[in-house]
Structure 1
Amino acid sequence: MSDKSLDCSDLDQYMGKPIAPAKMKEPLHNNDIRRWVQAMHYPNLMHYDHDFAAEGRYGRIVAPQSFAVGVDDGHGAGPACVGCIPDSHLIFGGDEWWFYGPRIFGGDEITNEKVPFDYAVKQTGFAGPTCFQRGDNNYYNQNGDFIAKQRSTAIRYARDSAVEMGSMDNTEDPVWTAEELKELETKKYEYIKMMHELGHGKRYWDDVKVGDELPVRIIGPHSVASFTTEWRAYLFTIWGGTHRPGMDMASFGFTEEFAGHENDPVMERDNPEWTDGAYFGPSRGHLFPEWARRVGMPRGYGYGASMGAWILDYLAGWAGEWGQVVHSKASYRGPAFTGDITIMQATVTDKTVDDEGRNIIQVDYKMRSQTGTVMATATAEVELPTR
């Protein structure tokens, strides 16, 4: 266990104080929603097929509940990483979501009000002293309707400690045979077929039983190409699309080689490639194995915000267009690595009617890789219609 200290003294001054809100420069377009579900491997016709959506509950294409994080200026991490921790890096540690009913459509203008919440320092086997910092993202539309609250957890750690303690045994992608890949595609289609079979129909609360298992969802094998596709679906990664907050990444304590100019509005006008986390700055470890190893990861790895989206999409796809996720609390134990697949399963643990009179199904969720390594766990409440 590393005995190095982690200086978090600068964080106190930011807790509970709102920071610059996030807002795109132009209204959302249906193609923004289509790009999102394509990147998140979520072929739900309600979110990309014009004709199918026109016959459904909303009469038009509707964004998935997971899309809210895609219209932030930093995939939900902003209020969870304010303050300087010298010579540090961060990864996502989890998300808690509350959804209040309003949905996102093309033409909407979403504002995210961001407020740092709290932090705690704990010892971990990954990097020794580690800061678990939380911040709230409050998403509103142009009418002031409160869409959702996202409480994100950032795991902030001393970069050198993570490199020193990290396992570098699995630096190569696993190899899949043609037969294995064909079998994977068959298994992946089972979840898609479930959505097709439900169509515009209702999944009734009355018919669900405690102990029921939700259909398995599989995505992957992940690759630098798939992670890049995900990155490009976050609207803040598009040049000129966001009212940039002007964050100074070095002031957060990122090491010089990772700080860069991500989200720098001045540099975006001068040399926008330097502001793009895919190439420079704290996000490039996801797509470049050499840089991944410099922050304690053995090879290219996925985005925590995408993992959160996979969970919400999985539950919402099962619930159907007449149901919705009302609350989810997820803990991320390890990222998706290139070459791996992600397997999602959930079990119904309770049926209740809540204080608001909503008919709720509670589930326990687990995300794992093909080796059985647990990547994330969650509990969630899903509202379903009744007969």
Structure 2
Amino acid sequence: MSETTTRLFPRITEQALDELRARIGVRIENTQEPWCHEATRDNIRHYAHGIGDDNPLWCDPAYAAKSDLGGLVALPSFLFSTSRIVSGYVGGIPGVHAMWAGADWTWHRWVRRNETITTEAWLKDLVEHRTSFAGRSIQQVYHVRFFGEGGDLVAEADSWCFRTDRDAAREEGTKYRDLKRKPPRRYTDDELERIWSLYAQEKPRGATPRHFEDVEVGDTLPTMPKGPMTVTGFIAYAQGWGGLYIRANRLAWKQVKAHPGLGIRNRFNIPDCPERVHWEPEMALMVGAPGAYDYGPERCSWLTHHLTDWMGDSGFLVRATSKLRRHNPEGDLLFIDGRVTAKRVEGGRHLVDIAQEARNQDGELSVVGTGTVALPSRG
């Protein structure tokens, strides 16, 4: 970082990195309490509604009771709410910004209504990168395992955050230099009508099975819109997911007292959480982002929503990956598309592989992903 850069925040140090490397492979004890311990009817619904998903398989008990599953289940991405670690609660390098950037999920079975979920987690790897966003960046990879009430492995995931120097990102980052100079995007009524028409067509496949034999390589999934994004939408997601650092009054004080690096002073000189980059444009600009932006796990959940709508009640999402490529500031709009890339029979299951990508209203790549879905077979 140049000598003229204004220093407002702590930076990445070799000592902090060495201390982090010593934690690789060591199980994390005394993790932050998750937002949800149990997959209750309300917890599941709040998470689903937070990503704009009203699939009755996880939102309507009467419908779910008549399904092949016999009752409510949790949407796959609900597990984000059961672990702060998989959601981006990173340790080490105090005062240095963390941006959730991707995940690689594997699910072994459905999580059922009222089931209690427990987890174990450890730091898996640290990888150094050079980026146009902030120069030096550290990718911090965690592995989390999720267990059901019987102690069986329900799911597992790698997830990662990028740790970036906030001052370097703000003053020297080039990734969003032109975007920051643009006036706020204003949508015409015709543009909005196109989006509303896509929403009008959007619905889960439901009880009509999508059979393995009816799927061909090259088939495309319906385009799923998300947005135009608003701070209201980001807050709706936080209500279901729980956030990482959102606390009030005495609990907020206890958090800052225990972790002073989290307490970034606001315009009233009050130490407040770094998570407000998602609802305060001024804070987002301070860390180099182009404006208040969406949550990373939220975008990953949008991709899995795209897959579960397509597969129907008889399908099962086996695996999904996501890699975020840029921020989605408020005002942005995403179009999620997918294409079948392969199909196979493996271990008695009929599997379909899908490649996904989402681009914004200007055609810029926002996130890429993959999914593997198990479908019923006519045979």
TM-score by structure 1 length? 0.84
Q: Amino acid of the residue matched to residue 99 of structure 1?
A: W
Q: Quote the residue 1:371 is aligned against.
A: 362
Kindly indicate whether residue 170 of structure 2 is the aligned counterpart of residue 179 of structure 1: no
1:54-73 equivalences under 5 Å are 54-73=65-84
Question: Are the aligned partners of 1:72 and 1:236 in contact in 2 as well (CA < 8 Å)?
Answer: no
Indicate if the aligned counterparts of 1:353 and 1:360 stay in contact, CA closer than 8 A.
yes
Residue 27 of structure 1: CA displacement?
3.6
Q: Which residue of 1 aligns with 2:7?
A: none
Asked whether 1:36 is paired with 2:27, we answer no
Gaps spanning 5+ residues in structure 1: where? 260-273
Distance 2:348 2:294 in 1: 38
How far has the Cα of 1:54 moved from its partner? 2.0
Distance, in Å, in 1 between the alignment partners of 2:125 and 2:256 is: 21
1:109 aligns with 2:116: yes
Structure 2 residue 210 is matched with structure 1 residue 203: yes
Q: CA deviation at 1:76?
A: 2.3
- 178, 188, 204: which is aligned to 2:199? 188
- Tell me the distance in 1 between the aligned counterparts of 2:65 and 2:162: 42
| 2:281 aligned to which of 289, 293, 304 | 289
> 1: distance between equivalents of 2:257 and 2:343?
45
Q: Which of 167-176 and 27-36 deviates more? A: 167-176
The 1:223–1:161 alpha-carbon spacing in structure 2 relative to 1, beyond 3 Å, is same
**How much does 1:118 deviate?**
0.5
- Give the structure 1 partner of residue 88 of structure 2: 77
Distance in structure 1 (CA, Å) of the matches to 2:324 and 2:86: 15
State the alpha-carbon separation in 2 of the partners of residues 48 and 300 from structure 1: 29
Q: Indicate if the aligned counterparts of 1:163 and 1:293 stay in contact, CA closer than 8 A.
A: yes
> Aligned residues: percent identity?
26
The AA in structure 2 aligned to 1:363 is I
Where do 5+ consecutive residues of structure 2 fail to align?
Answer: 4-10
Instruction: Name the structure 1 match of 2:24.
Output: 15
* Structure 1 residues 250 and 373: alpha-carbon distance in aligned structure 2, compared to 1, 3 A threshold: farther
Q: 1:300 to 1:383 in 2, by over 3 A?
A: same
State the AA in 1 paired with 2:67: G
Query: Could you list the per-position Cα deviations for residues 183-209 of structure 1 after superposition, in whole angstroms to 9, with x for gaps in the alignment?
Result: 2111123232xx2xx321211111110
1:286 touches 1:302 (CA, 8 Å); kept in 2? yes
The aligned amino acid for 1:83 is G
CA contact (8 A) 1:132 1:155 kept: yes
AA aligned opposite 2:100: F
Distance 1:329 1:107 in 2: 27
Question: 2:355 is aligned with what amino acid?
Answer: D
SS of residue in 2 equivalent to 1:228: helix
Matched, 1:138 2:145: yes
Moved more, 209-218 or 230-239: 230-239
Q: Match for residue 267 of structure 1? A: none
Q: Does 1:300 align with 2:292?
A: yes
Q: Is the 8 A contact 1:2 1:127 kept in 2?
A: no
Deviation at 1:170, TM superposition (A): 3.3
SS class of match (2:371): strand
Deviation at 1:367, TM superposition (A): 1.1
2:220 alignment partner, SS class: coil
- Counterpart of 2:202 in 1: which secondary structure? helix
Q: Does 1:98 align with 2:106?
A: yes
Deviations 1:261-289 (A, max 9, x none): xxxxxxxxxxxxx9xxxx93121111100
Alignment partner, residue 271 of structure 1: none
Structure 2 distance, partners of 1:381, 1:148, is 14
- Structure 2 counterpart of 1:352, from 344, 357, 361: 344
Equivalenced residue count is 356
How far apart are 1:239 and its partner, in Å?
A: 6.8
- Looking at structure 2, the residues matched to 181 and 155 of structure 1 have their Cα atoms a distance apart, in angstroms, of 34
Contact 1:132–1:154 (Cα < 8 Å) also in 2: yes
Shift of 1:249: 9.2
Q: 3-state DSSP class of the match of 2:272?
A: coil
Report if aligned partners of 2:86, 2:144 keep a CA contact under 8 Å in 1. Answer: no
1:83 CA drift (Å): 2.1
Q: Residue 177 of structure 1: CA displacement?
A: 2.1
